[in-house]
Structure 1
Amino acid sequence: MSGLDLPWSELAVFAAAIAASGVVAGLMAGIFGIGGGAVLVPVFYQVFGLLGVDEVVRMHLAVGSSLAIIIPTSIRSFTGHKARGAVDMDLLKSFLIPVPIGVVLASITAAYISSEGLRVIFAVLMLLVAVRLLFNRESWKLKGDLPGTGGRTVAGVVIGYFSTLMGIGGGVMNNTFMTIYGRPMHQAVATSSGVGVLIAIPGTIGYIWAGWGHPDLPIASTGFINWVAVALIIPIALIVTPYGVRIAHALKKRQLEVAFGLFCIFISARFFWSLAA
C-alpha cells in the first residue's frame, strides 16, 4: 500500500479517524439497525484515498470491508433488540432465502461494476430514503400489512441486492420497506439488525470472491476486504453498539425518522460531491 510511505504521524491520524468512525458506526448499528455501513463506507473511501489506494478498487474495498465489520455489529445489535422483543421474527424468517439470493447477485455485479457506478447507487438510494423519512406523509404509506410470501420474496431479493452493493446492513432498505406498510420505526430498526446478519455474512464471502487476486489491492487485503480496517473497527463498534440500542428505544418515532433522514442526506451529499470532484 503506497499509503504506508506516509509519515507515521499522518498514519496515526488516519487510524484515529477510522477508530472514531467505529464509535459512530457502533452507535448507528444500535440506533438505526443499519450495521454502521452507511458511516463506514464513506469514511473508508476517504481514508483509503488518503493512503493512496487506487481509485479502481477504493470504493469496492470500502464496501467489502464495511460488510465484514457488519457481521459482528449486526449480531450484537440483533441480540440486543431481540431481548427487548422488538424484532418481527416472522418477516425475518421469510427473508432467510430471498435476502442471500440478492446478496449473491450483488456480489457478481460487484466483480464488474466500476467505482463510479457503486458511488452513484450509494448516493441516489440514500437520497431517496432521506426524502421518504423527512417528508413522511401518511399518503405515502400503503394500506394493509406487509405483503405475503411473493411480495416478501421480491422485497428480500431487492433489499439484499442493493444493500450489498452499498456495503450496508440492510437497515436503510428494510426500514423503508416496513414503515411504508405502517410498521413502527422501532420494530423496523430492530428487524433490520437481523436482516444485516443475512446480508453481511454471504456479502463478505462474495466480496472476497469478487476481488480475489486483483493487482491493485493494498496490503492485508483478501479480495475486497481490508483486514487492517476491519481489525481497527470491530472491537470499538462492539463495545458501543449496546448504547445505540438504548438510545433507539429512548427516542420517539418521529425523532428517529428525522435523525435517520438527515443522516442519509449528509452521506448522499458526500458521495455526489466525490463524483463531481
Structure 2
Amino acid sequence: MEDLSLFSLGLLAVALLATGVVAGIVAGLLGVGGGIVIVPVLYYMFTALKIDPAVLMHVAVGTSLATILATGTSSARSHYKRGSVDMDLLKRWWWAIALGVIAGATLAGNISGGALTLVFGFVALAVSANMMFRKDGAHLADSLPGSPVKEVLGFLIGGISVMMGIGGGTLGVPTLTLFNYPIRKAVGTAAAIGLIIAVPGTLSSIWFGLGAEGLPPLSLGYVNLVGFFLIIPASTLTAPLGAKIAHTIDPSKLKLVFALFLGFTGLRMIYGVLF
C-alpha cells in the first residue's frame, strides 16, 4: 500500500470506517473508552492490509490518540457539566500525568513497532485480568495515597496510556476505584485525563512519524488522516446502537466477552512479536 492508487485508498477507507463502527458499538455496549477498542482493531486491519510492520503499531496508536482529541473533548465537557470531574484532583495531578505522557511519547517514538506492540499486549492482558477477576467494589484503601505515590501513579497512567494509544478511562478508572473513589467521579475525571494524554500524544505521534517509510496513504506522521476523519463519525453514530443492545444482554457476560477479546488480542500481539 505504498502508492496512492484508488483501490488501495478505497480499501483503507473501508477498513477504517469498519474500525469506527466496531469501536462505537463495543464502546456503547460496555461503556469503555474508544482507544482500547480502536488500537487492536486497527492492528488487525493494518495487518490484513499488509501495512509495514515497522510502522503498523505506531500508526494504530497515533491515529487512536488523534480520535480521542475529538471524542475526549465531548466526553470531558459532558462530565464536567454534570459535576463529575474532580477539578481539585486534576489541579494536583495534571503535571505528573503530563510528565508521564511526555516520557511515554518520547519512548514510543524511539522504539520499534514490535516493542510498542509488546507494551500494548502485556497491558491488555492486565486490563483483561482486572475485568475478569476483580470483584465490584473491591479496593485497596479508602482514599488515594499521598505524595509521592500519588504522583508516581499519575506518571504511570500518562506514560502507559500514551504508549497504548488510549485515553484516561482504561487505566484511570481502575486506579481511582482501587482507592475507593466514587465510580461516577472516577469516570468523569478519567475523561478529562484523556485530554491531558491525547493532546501531547497526538503531536508527538505526528512529530516522530514525519518522514517515516511505509506509512499508509494520507498519513501525517503516525496519524492516519483517513482514519481520523472516518473513525470519529462512525463510532459516534454507532455508540448509541451499542448502548441499546446493552439493555437486552447481560452486562456481566458482555464484560467477560470483551475481557476475553482483550486477553486474546494481547496474547496474539505478544506471540506475533516474540515467536
Q: TM-score interval w.r.t. the shorter chain? A: 0.7 to 0.9
Amino acid in the other structure paired with 2:272: S
Give the secondary structure class of the aligned counterpart of 1:144: coil
Extract unaligned runs of 5+ from structure 2.
none
Is the 8 Å Cα contact of residues 35 and 68 (structure 2) preserved in structure 1? yes
Alpha-carbon distance between aligned partners in 2 of 1:51 and 1:250, rounded to the nearest angstrom: 35
For residues 1-277 of structure 1, the aligned pairs below 5 Å read 1-2=1-2, 4=4, 8=7, 12=10, 14-27=12-25, 35-137=33-135, 141-240=139-238, 258=256, 261-275=259-273
Tell me how many residue pairs correspond in the alignment.
275
Q: CA deviation at 1:112?
A: 1.8
Structure 1 stretch displaced more, 57-66 or 11-20: 11-20
Structure 1 stretch displaced more, 113-122 or 189-198: 189-198
Question: Kindly tell me: are residues 268 and 52 of structure 1, through their superposed partners in 2, closer, same or farther at Cα, counting changes over 3 Å?
Answer: closer
Is the 8 Å Cα contact of residues 26 and 237 (structure 1) preserved in structure 2? yes
Is the 8 Å Cα contact of residues 34 and 196 (structure 1) preserved in structure 2? no
Amino acid in the other structure paired with 1:38: I
Alpha-carbon distance between aligned partners in 2 of 1:220 and 1:206, rounded to the nearest angstrom: 18
Alpha-carbon distance between aligned partners in 1 of 2:230 and 2:12, rounded to the nearest angstrom: 11
Alpha-carbon distance between aligned partners in 1 of 2:233 and 2:101, rounded to the nearest angstrom: 25
TM-score by length of 1: 0.83
Is the 8 Å Cα contact of residues 99 and 161 (structure 1) preserved in structure 2? yes
Amino acid in the other structure paired with 2:129: V
Is the 8 Å Cα contact of residues 9 and 217 (structure 2) preserved in structure 1? no
Alpha-carbon distance between aligned partners in 1 of 2:171 and 2:96, rounded to the nearest angstrom: 14
CA RMSD in angstroms comes to: 3.3
Q: CA deviation at 1:86?
A: 3.1
Amino acid in the other structure paired with 2:106: I
Question: Kindly tell me: are residues 83 and 131 of structure 1, through their superposed partners in 2, closer, same or farther at Cα, counting changes over 3 Å?
Answer: same
Structure 1 stretch displaced more, 265-274 or 227-236: 265-274
Give the secondary structure class of the aligned counterpart of 2:16: helix
Q: CA deviation at 1:144?
A: 2.0
Q: Deviations over 1:228-248 (max 9, x none)?
A: 111111222334457778999
Q: CA deviation at 1:250?
A: 11
Q: Deviations over 1:121-141 (max 9, x none)?
A: 111111112212321158962
TM-score by length of 2: 0.83
